[in-house]
Amino acid sequence: MTMRRSRWWGWGDEGKSYHIPDPERFWEFVRSRLGPTDASPRVESLERCELRPSRLPASILAAFGSVAGNSAVLTSNTERAAFSLGKSYRDLVRIRAGEVPHPTDAIVQPQTGDQVGALLDLAAREGVSVIPFGGGSSVVGGVEPESDGHVLTIDMAGLSDVAKIDPASATAVLGAGIAGPDLERQLNAAGFTLGHFPQSFEFSTLGGWLATRSSGQNSTLYGRIENRVESLRLAYPGGLLATPEVPAAAAGSDLVQVVCGSEGSLGIITEARMRLARLPAERDYRGYAFESFGEGVAAARELMQRGFHPAMVRVSDEAETESTLAMRPPPTGIASVVESAGRWYMARRGIRLESAAIMILGFEGEKVSVDHQWSEAKRVLSGYSAFSLGGGAGRAWQASRFEAPYLRDLLLDHGILVDTLETATTWGNYETLHAAVRDALSTALGERSVVMAHLSHSYSDGGSIYFTFLAPQERGREVEQWERAKVAATDAIIQHGGALSHHHGIGSDHLPWMESYIGSEGMQVLASLKTALDPAGVMNPGKLLPRSQGASRG
């Protein structure tokens, strides 16, 4: 299988763009919030990127070739540029300008776990830093090299096999380099699903999900990725950690969970045995409007605490609802009549659609179970200001669930800063944190900005908050403008009891806040783990913990 790669200057497939049904209406809305913006040009191709030469001696490149094959060693400027940045706003701003400040020195494409282990051993002996690369979808600086030292990027796309599906146990042994669509295609053919659908699903890999503790859009039902993994294999310099293939055990600390979230700082996940779910016979997603975000969040909380298991419960705040409605075409014909009647009825209940909070609620499974859950869920929702928008809203969300990153590219082309960040907190602190981060971003970005958010992952004790923010780019200071907003928002998250990251990971972008988040003792524990598995300090240095607190190269 050939790994689908995102286009170098943005997201997704070449030639594909975000479809806005009514562009005139949409851009009028954007101008009303952000004012006029200017087009933001980008360099024509990766060939226009100026990279420093590779610093790896020919002898080391030849040694890597002896492990994986000479054709598996890539050193051209275009290849090095493509593998040196992820897909964060800062990454895209720089590569669109032809800037790749810290390029990798070479890329090697192994085909087996043994080759990965041999490459790590060789890199450790030669003092070469190693960065694992799955789909390259990191938005926190997870795949960008540090500024100093020799760097090797290991492309995991060759380890993409579905080695074994065990129907009796509902598990599958999967190569870490397998991408979301290939994984689901093969599991679905056997009647199963992993149920893991992050927004990056089409261009991200199992290994990347595990390394960052990814959370898919349906995690409320299927669980986060660390809940789906039974066992794994981690290649590290000088060894291989293979955890037992058992459903549960009481044998000390869970090493599977130690590896999950390690972001390549301990080694490289080469294979994992994953817990599967049977393909659902029924998927039923519907929309509801609430008079306020607080009402919608309260309804989500009650659903979770009453023991419901929705595939997804997502609640957009008022600003996100307004922005979403600005992108849809105005209804015509009978749909216009139906919507007018619905708006009239909603108004009688004190709800205005553009200033409402919209919930998308979905259940999956056997039809009898789905019908029963909907019957009971409607009883809960009737206790709030919920107004049913029907199945059309749910189907529309499902149809566009992986499209938002394409809109980011379009906005960037028009000179608009657009980025996301996420956190999580307890229900009791939820609205306080939402307001604090929203206000911090609005202050940092100024009046000509839009800050919106939604609840995207729910638990019995709390939920995530996923923010999107937009502002006109400060031309020539795009990165500094973004850093100002990032610092303000992250400071607010730490000060108001939020998770430093809910599912994007730490990378290098969140690293400055790690010690204030987990404490100096927590940092020492992480550093000790790294020293035990990576004493030469070559595994993805500068990610998750600073080099000064991990091992250092000899």
Claim to verify: residue 264 and residue 372 sit in the same structural domain: no
485 in the same domain as 438: yes
Residue 328 lies in a domain: yes
Domain annotation covers residue 287: yes
CATH code (residue 222): 3.30.465.10
Beta-bridge mates of residue 131: 153
From residue 47, give the alpha-carbon distance in Å to each of 7, 73, 78, 79, 505: 14, 19, 6, 10, 31
Catalytic residue among 236, 430, 466, 517: 466
Is residue 345 part of the annotated active site? The answer reads no
Question: Could you give the angle at which helices 404-413 and 89-96 cross, rounded to 10 degrees?
Answer: 40
Instruction: Report the candidate in 470, 513, 507 with the shortest Cα–Cα distance to residue 493.
Output: 513
Domain identity same for 227 and 288 = no
Which of 139, 158, 177 represents a domain boundary (last residue)? 158
From the list 471, 483, 543, 485, the residue with the least C-alpha distance to 514 is 543
| Closest to 357 measured CA to CA, from 405, 324, 379, 397 | 324
For residues 245 and 191, state if they share a domain: yes
Walk across the sheet containing 312-316 and list its strands.
387-390, 282-290, 357-365, 312-316, 450-455, 462-472, 416-426
* Predicted local distance difference test score (pLDDT) of residue 529: 97
**Within this chain, do residues 411 and 456 fall inside the same structural domain, yes or no?**
yes
pLDDT 10s digit of each residue in the chain, 554 long?
567 899 999 999 998 999 888 899 899 999 999 999 999 999 999 999 989 999 999 999 999 999 999 999 999 999 999 999 999 999 999 999 999 999 999 999 999 999 999 999 999 999 999 999 999 999 999 999 998 899 999 999 999 999 899 999 999 999 999 999 999 999 999 999 999 999 999 999 999 999 999 999 999 999 999 999 999 999 999 999 999 999 999 999 999 999 999 999 999 999 999 999 999 999 999 999 999 999 999 999 999 999 999 999 999 999 999 998 887 767 667 666 566 666 666 776 777 777 899 999 999 999 999 999 999 999 999 999 899 999 989 998 999 999 999 999 999 999 999 999 999 999 999 999 999 999 999 999 999 999 999 999 999 999 999 999 999 999 999 999 999 999 999 999 999 999 999 999 999 999 999 999 999 999 999 999 999 999 999 999 999 998 765 444 43
Q: Which amino acid is at 200?
A: S
- In angstroms, the CA 42 to CA 140 distance is 22
CB 353 within 8 A of CB 346: yes
For residues 154 and 166, state if they share a domain.
no
* Any domain includes 396: no
Are 85 and 144 in a shared domain? Answer: yes
Same domain, 412 and 364: no
Q: Give residue 300's domain range.
A: 282-391
Q: Residues 129, 210: one domain? A: no
Evaluate whether residue 292 is within a structural domain: yes
Q: Tell me the three state secondary structure of residue 51.
A: coil
The confidence score (pLDDT) of residue 553 equals 44
Which residues on neighbouring strands pair with residue 231, listed in sequence order? 273
Residue 195 to residue 198: CA distance in whole angstroms: 10
* Residue 451: CATH number of its domain: 3.30.300.330
User: Is residue 226 situated within a structural domain?
Assistant: yes
Percent of the chain with pLDDT over 90: 88
Q: Please report, for the domain that includes residue 71, its CATH number.
A: 3.30.43.10
Distance of CA 105 to the CA centre of its chain: 26
Q: Is residue 539 a contact partner of residue 259, using CB atoms and an 8 Å limit?
A: no
Q: Which residue has the tokens 């659903």?
A: 303
Domain of 361: which CATH number?
Answer: 3.30.70.3450
- Say yes or no: 460 and 383 in one domain: no
Same-domain status, 481 and 518: no
Final residue of a structural domain among 235, 263, 278: 278
119 shares its domain with 152: yes
Look at residue 6 and tell me if it is in a domain: no
347, two tokens: 């108004």
Provide the domain count of the chain: 5
Q: Indicate whether 204 belongs to any domain.
A: yes
Let me know if residue 55 belongs to a domain. Answer: yes
Q: Tell me which H or E stretch contains 208.
A: helix 206-212
Specify the pLDDT at position 385: 84
